[in-house]
Structure 1
């Protein structure tokens, strides 16, 4: 990899496709070199495309749901100062909770929560020692509502949304900013991976991941605490804040209930 002394370094997880890849592109456009990570071989193709934009890029293929996978990513940092950590890796899971395989449930929790927090803990401690750094956590507006037929996913995102606000205030006046990006349904392979293509939300028009990433990156660079991407998502969160949970759960059911052959 090229010499890292002239450019700041950003670490982006879940960067092979979707919002994560677009966040990586935003980093390159704004003068960062990169370490990008994902749990699939496509991360190497993504890294090559990013190099063609003029950045020095290391690619790490690792399962960030595991301690070993996060350690592999951290080893690739090789002690360099991380100026920005964009913790975007995440997994979804559709269908009813009792119909899901528990191994799949555990993988969603370990990817979205355990692996993310472990990475934040390791990189965040180094940032605190230096007294500077930017953290972007990809939460979701899903964290504002009970996720009928997406109960585990929404629960993990509620945790991340809450955690990001708490961490931001713990790091107040340390030189480290924490931003939570809360997108809505976005045009990525998320819904296909989550086995939700036979649902209303899986079939509806979704947000452009490039627009979501641009919104999140800009908020991170400004040091803002949180940002909801898209006016319709802002409206949804405003409605959710004053709507009883039982009503929200019913609304979510209509959006995420699978076709009869998938129940």
Structure 2
């Protein structure tokens, strides 16, 4: 990786979906890229992103592990990260007690532990330099109990809350923290989470390019949070005034296995 006058953006979960589109936004706006995913497709993503100019380095690493995060951090080769877009995440459908605990642990370690560890390492570097941009992909799912998706929603509730707290702690610095909170988006998330037979899995979803551009623009403006799409804005507003028990029952109708079948 060659250091030059272009800023460096580190984007996790960048092989497909929102993460790939976030990386594309960065490349189109003058950033060099260090992109990360836990699958070989990250190399194909890097090849495509190089068409937008600048350098693009790809790392295949398991961000649910401390070793994986260290591998990504070391791949900077000492170059400072100007923008960290912490987007990597995993979902998991079905009832909690029916899930394999290895899968549960993987979601928690990817969405929470690995994300927080990377933020801690890169955030400290940004504090030393006195500047930087952070975008954390949370979700409107964090506003409601995730019946039949309990671990995922709880992990996103953590990230949503954490983003606001970190932003407040850094409010007197030149480091901005933005929380991107999309709703259901047209990616391979629902297939990986084994939720294709659910009502939400078969519903119309948002365009990942639109979601990413909204998040990228908010990050560049230094905004604290952004919910994408009017429907999601309405849903998140309703969630703040609706009793949790009712939200849990509503979520079950969307996420219970078999609800998507006619």
Structure 2 gap ranges (5+): none
In the superposition, the TM-score normalised over structure 2's length comes to 0.98
Q: C-alpha separation between the residues in 1 aligned to 2:214 and 2:174?
A: 22
SS in 2 for 1:77: coil
Partner of 1:80: 79
Partner of 1:255: 254
**Contact kept? 1:149, 1:257, Cα under 8 Å:** yes
Partner of 1:230: 229
User: Which runs of at least 4 in structure 1 moved beyond 3 Å after TM superposition?
Assistant: none
Deviations 1:87-143 (A, max 9, x none): 000000000000000000000000000000000000000000000000000000000
Structure 1 gap ranges (5+): none
User: How far is 1:6 from its partner?
Assistant: 1.8
Q: C-alpha separation between the residues in 1 aligned to 2:205 and 2:54?
A: 30
Partner of 1:155: 154
SS in 1 for 2:52: coil
SS in 2 for 1:72: helix
Q: C-alpha separation between the residues in 1 aligned to 2:174 and 2:142?
A: 27
User: How far is 1:52 from its partner?
Assistant: 1.6
Partner of 2:65: 66
Q: C-alpha separation between the residues in 1 aligned to 2:207 and 2:172?
A: 34
The alignment's C-alpha RMSD in Å is 0.8
Q: C-alpha separation between the residues in 2 aligned to 1:78 and 1:85?
A: 16
**Contact kept? 1:4, 1:33, Cα under 8 Å:** no
Q: C-alpha separation between the residues in 2 aligned to 1:4 and 1:145?
A: 43
* Count of aligned positions: 259
Partner of 1:41: 40
User: How far is 1:196 from its partner?
Assistant: 0.1
Q: C-alpha separation between the residues in 2 aligned to 1:75 and 1:44?
A: 18
Q: C-alpha separation between the residues in 1 aligned to 2:208 and 2:254?
A: 20
User: How far is 1:55 from its partner?
Assistant: 2.1
SS in 2 for 1:35: strand
SS in 2 for 1:105: helix
Q: C-alpha separation between the residues in 1 aligned to 2:182 and 2:149?
A: 16
User: How far is 1:222 from its partner?
Assistant: 0.3
**Contact kept? 1:197, 1:203, Cα under 8 Å:** yes
In the superposition, the TM-score normalised over structure 1's length comes to 0.98
Partner of 1:142: 141
Partner of 1:166: 165
SS in 2 for 1:202: coil
Q: C-alpha separation between the residues in 2 aligned to 1:5 and 1:16?
A: 25
**Contact kept? 1:35, 1:59, Cα under 8 Å:** yes
Q: C-alpha separation between the residues in 2 aligned to 1:114 and 1:243?
A: 29
